[in-house]
Chains A and B, each alone.
Chain A
Amino acid sequence: MKLTARDIMTTKFHTLAPQTPLNEAVKLFKQASKEEGRKIFGMMVTDHEDHLVGMISMYDILLVLRPKHTHIWGLMEDIDVAGIVDISCEKTKSVLVGDIMTPEVITITSQSHVLMILDIMIKKHVRRLPVLENGKIIGIVYISDLFYNILDRFAD
Chain B
Amino acid sequence: MAKSDKNTLSGLVVSQAMRHQVIQLLKETSIANSINALIKYKVNALLTTDQSGKPAGVLSKTDIMGAYYAGLPIESPIEDIMSKPPLFCHPEDALDKALRIMHSQGVYRLYVVDSENKNVVGALAYPDIVGLLYKYCHDCEYSHIRQKNKSMPDSIQRFFVKEIMTSEVKSVLEDASLLQVMEELSAYRFGAILVKNRENNPCGVISKTDLALAYKHEVDSGAQAATIMSSPVQSCSADELLEDAIRKMIFSDVHRLFVYQSQPMALVGVISLSDAARIRSGSCHACVSSRIKLETE
Residues of A whose CB lies within 8 Å of any CB of B are 60, 63-64, 66-69, 71-72, 75-76, 79, 84, 87-88, 91, 94-96, 98-104
Encode B122-145 as 1/0 by CB contact (under 8 A) with A. 000001000100110011000000
B42 touches A64 (CB 8 A): yes
B39 touches A95 (CB 8 A): yes
Give the complex CA separation of A94 and B212 in angstroms: 12
Question: What 3 pairs between A and B have smallest CB-CB spacing?
Answer: A67-B253, A100-B40, A103-B33
A64 touches B39 (CB 8 A): yes
Q: Smallest Cβ distance from B181 to chain A, in angstroms?
A: 16
Residues of A within 8 A of B217 (CB): 96
A99 touches B127 (CB 8 A): no
Residues of B whose CB lies within 8 Å of any CB of A are 32-33, 35-36, 39-42, 127, 131, 134-135, 138-139, 210, 213, 216-217, 228, 230, 250-253
A84 touches B39 (CB 8 A): no
Given A88-B253, A101-B36, A103-B36, does the pair A68, B42 have CB atoms closer than 8 Å? yes
B134 touches A72 (CB 8 A): yes
Give the complex CA separation of A75 and B247 in angstroms: 12
- Other CB < 8 Å A-B pairs besides A63-B40, A100-B39, 19 of them? A63-B42, A66-B42, A67-B250, A67-B253, A68-B127, A69-B131, A69-B253, A72-B135, A75-B135, A79-B251, A94-B210, A94-B213, A95-B39, A95-B213, A96-B217, A99-B40, A100-B36, A103-B32, A103-B36
B253 touches A99 (CB 8 A): no
A99 touches B213 (CB 8 A): yes
B139 touches A75 (CB 8 A): yes
Question: Can you give 8 contacting A-B residue pairs, CB < 8 Å?
Answer: A63-B41, A64-B40, A68-B253, A69-B250, A95-B39, A98-B36, A98-B216, A103-B32
Q: Smallest Cβ distance from A86 to chain B, in angstroms?
A: 10
A91 touches B36 (CB 8 A): no
Residues of B within 8 A of A72 (CB): 131, 134-135, 138, 250
Residues of A within 8 A of B138 (CB): 72, 75-76
Give the complex CA separation of A94 and B39 in angstroms: 11
A87 touches B252 (CB 8 A): yes
Residues of A within 8 A of B127 (CB): 68-69
Give the complex CA separation of A72 and B17 in angstroms: 12
